Amino acid sequence: MLFVRRDFVSNYKQTILGPVWFFIQPLLTTLTYVIIFGNIAKLSTDGAPMLVFYMAGITVWNYFSQTLTSISTVFTVNAQLFGKVYFPRLTMPLSIVLANLVRFGIQFGLFLAIWAFYLLKGGTTLQPNWVIILTPVLVVIMGLQALGLGMIFSALTTKYRDLAMLLTFGIQLLMYATPVIYPLSSLPEKYRWLVLANPMSAVVESFRYAFLGTGTFQWEYLGYSALATAIILAMGTLIFNKVEKSFTDTV
């Protein structure tokens, strides 16, 4: 829990607004997407209010991307701590997952407030459904997928520091290969499998389907995402455990 608190506090330490940034960042990002992708590019939102549509995608994507990015540098950032004190190294990436889960909870609460406003206001196409009860499952898949990928990259960055910069750029590109700013239904049918090959796509689409009633939900898509996550997590754990025994020689 000490590492969880440290990772959470470090996000807003020495900032003027402190934890308020957890609200400001997704709001500003959402408004930017509404203006650029909604009003200028005229991308489809499947009839859902633009603010809720983009906020749903951003809430999910932020948790995944921020967790993955933070874990990817866990060896290089904490090299001195690892060298001084022995503790199970796996606790460090796990603490990042949990710290970002708290952050996700805050942003998810913001999303729920906006979603409830539109729902109570009426006059929208929002149709929440039973898939909402799968929200914890979606969050677990997101967290474990980011954990697995993060551990793989953390092992690689002990030797190849440039990968940390490449990953930051890669995550930005990956967002466009995930239905964050557009619905899967807006893509030609013959190309949808390319997007669905990304395990995060089913998570984003299922989340939107649960709360907005738009998007695509199919058990086989979610099952594929869960299976891919399990494989990624197993690979990440094996690679991480192997590298943590000798990483001090390369960091």
**Residue for token pair 């020689």:** 249
pTM score over 0.95: no
Predicted local distance difference test score (pLDDT) of residue 244 = 76
Average pLDDT, the chain: 88
Predicted local distance difference test score (pLDDT) of residue 69 = 93
Residue 14 has pLDDT above 90, yes or no: no
Over residues 87-97, the mean pLDDT reads 84
- CA 70-58-209 angle, 5° bins: 125
- pLDDT, one tens digit per residue, over 223-247 is 999 999 999 999 999 998 888 766 5
Q: Show me where the domains of the chain are located.
A: 2-11+18-249
The Cβ of residue 182 has, within 10 Å, a number of other Cβ atoms equal to 19
The Cβ of residue 113 has, within 10 Å, a number of other Cβ atoms equal to 11
